[in-house]
Amino acid sequence: MLEKFTAILILDIRVHWKMLLGMITFACAIPTYAYITGDHRGKIVAMLFGFTFLAVPVISPWWLVGNDRSKGTIWLLVSLPLSRLQLALVKCTEVVALSSVVFTISVAIASALGLLGSSDLTQFIIAAPLFYLPIALLATGLFLVFPARIAMFPLYVIFFGLLKLSNEYLPVLQKYGNVALYLLILCALCALAGAAFLTCVRLWSIRPSPAEV
Amino acid sequence: MLRIEALTQDYRDFRLGPITLTLTEQLIGLVGANGAGKTTLFSALAGISQTDKGSVSFNGANLSRLDRLSRVSFAHGRDVWYHGITFEDHLDLFKHCYPAWDNDVARRALERFSIPRHKRTGAASAGMLAKFALVVALARRADVVLLDEPWNALDPGSRVELTNIVRTLASEGDVMFIVSSHDLQEVESLCKRFLLLRDGMLVFDGNEADVKLKSGGSLTELYLTVANA
């Protein structure tokens, strides 16, 4: 099983290397830009929060699942001798891994440049697992259920909604860590429930589309 | 021998089957109008979609959905390959995924079909991609190969080449080919047994003599009589 996981992971890295490079570049660019321009630290933290927490897990499934789906290569994946659950696990693992890499690079650079204090770092580290897995699951589930273009609409709504929330609540996050944490847990649980539902609906039976019947 | 027993699948207001069949020939043609259920039947046989009822067995052994994903190869006309990587890269993926994968067979088949292994699939011709689907089917040692519209988008030269390859492979090995196409002349010249689907039901099953008996002529005449009846 691990062999299959690794083979698919390597293939996806090779196929989607431009996306990987783009995200990592952007993750490096945010703190670097902030350092050079001397921008307000709170805003930078918000950007980091928004990009690394929300954008990456939302964008990456579009590449890893949605893009395959619209190109027809989802057929190649569903033709492999893997159960639907295993396939979803592979894709979710990739999204979480990709998010974690981009997050780590971005935060490490920001921290090295002195843009993040220890309390900011603690908040990032606590909030990361609460956000990554559910959002990745939700996004992957959406892309497995809907064609990529349709799935983008709810994802954009989720993305901008959460981005706005993160910007608004960031000062609260800094001042009242517990309240923000409860909010994060609530969001995570909602996303997880939605993701589990959507993923199950899709994976239990992938049917040919009407055009193919 | 491929045995399909009361296979049924519902999709919205469409129902495939129940279909019961025993197939022993190496080359079988599947024809039917658009929407008759050919691709649905292939998806079910290949384990890509979950069947609602029925079973599939090969040489007496019942095949679960995961077994079918390993042992039944579905090579359809559409381009399902990753464009940014090479044929060789695809083989590397499959090598790790299919339990019976034979790398030597894959390499020999690439050479035999004149497929340059380091060429990106995005830069390959439709004929080359169709042949590559056969390479994958052979290397994974599939018992049954389902070819869905194999001649689509192929030039006359590639059509003849593909037909000859399939005929040769069927004659030299244990692989069973089921070919679905609207190109009835190609199907008739290649296959030994013919299945005709209409509205999800099997309405004809017979060999060349049966086709003549039923229609008084060719497969095209049978199709026009039965499929559109």
Amino acid at B161: E
Residue closest to A213 by CA, chosen among B72, B44, B178: B44
Q: What pLDDT score was predicted for residue A177?
A: 45
* pLDDT at A199 exceeding the cut of 70: no
CATH of the domain at B151: 3.40.50.300
Question: Could you tell me the two tokens for A40?
Answer: 């307000």
User: Which of these ranges, A131-135, A146-150, B117-121, has the smallest mean pLDDT?
Assistant: A146-150
Q: What pLDDT score was predicted for residue B95?
A: 87
* pLDDT at A27 exceeding the cut of 80: no
What is the average per-residue pLDDT within B195-220? Answer: 83
Residue B36 within any structural domain of the chain: yes
d(CA B132, CA A183): 52
Domain count, chain B: 1
Query: Are A72 and B78 a contacting pair at CB < 8 A?
Result: yes
Residue B118 within any structural domain of the chain: yes
Amino acid at B18: P
Q: pTM of the prediction? A: 0.73
Q: What pLDDT score was predicted for residue A102?
A: 78
Residue B123 within any structural domain of the chain: yes
Say how many residues make up chain A: 213
Share of chain A above pLDDT 70, in %: 38
pLDDT grade for A208, boundaries at 50, 70 and 90 = very low
DSSP reduced 3-state for B147: strand
pLDDT grade for B178, boundaries at 50, 70 and 90 = very high
Check CB contact of B14 with chain A, cutoff 8 Å.
yes
Residue B19 within any structural domain of the chain: no
d(CA A88, CA A195): 11
Residue B135 within any structural domain of the chain: yes
Residue with the larger pLDDT of the pair B153 and B152? B152
Tell me which residue in A7, A79, A206 faces B74 most closely, judged by beta carbons. A79
pLDDT grade for B30, boundaries at 50, 70 and 90 = very high
Residue B186 within any structural domain of the chain: yes
Q: What is the largest CA-CA distance in chain A?
A: 59
Check CB contact of B126 with chain A, cutoff 8 Å.
no
ipTM of predicted assembly, 2 dp: 0.77
Residues 44-103 of chain B whose Cβ lies under 8 A from any Cβ of chain A? 46, 48-50, 66, 69-70, 74, 76, 78-85, 89, 92-99
Residue B56 within any structural domain of the chain: no
Q: Tell me the DSSP string of A119-183.
A: HHHHHHHHHHHHHHHHHHHHHHHHHHHS-HHHHHHHHHHHHHHHHHHHHHHHHHHHH-HHHHHHH
What is the average per-residue pLDDT within A5-18? Answer: 80
- A101 CA to chain B: closest CA distance, Å? 23
d(CA A57, CA B200): 41
Query: Are B39 and A208 a contacting pair at CB < 8 A?
Result: yes
- Phi and psi torsions of B215, nearest 5°: -110, -15
Sequence-distant (≥ 6) Cβ neighbours of residue A196 within 8 angstroms: A137, A141
**Range of the structural domain that residue B33 is part of:** 25-47+67-227
Sheet containing strand B72-76, edge to edge, reads B72-76, B144-148, B176-180, B27-32, B193-198, B201-207
d(CA A166, CA A168): 5
* pLDDT at A149 exceeding the cut of 50: yes
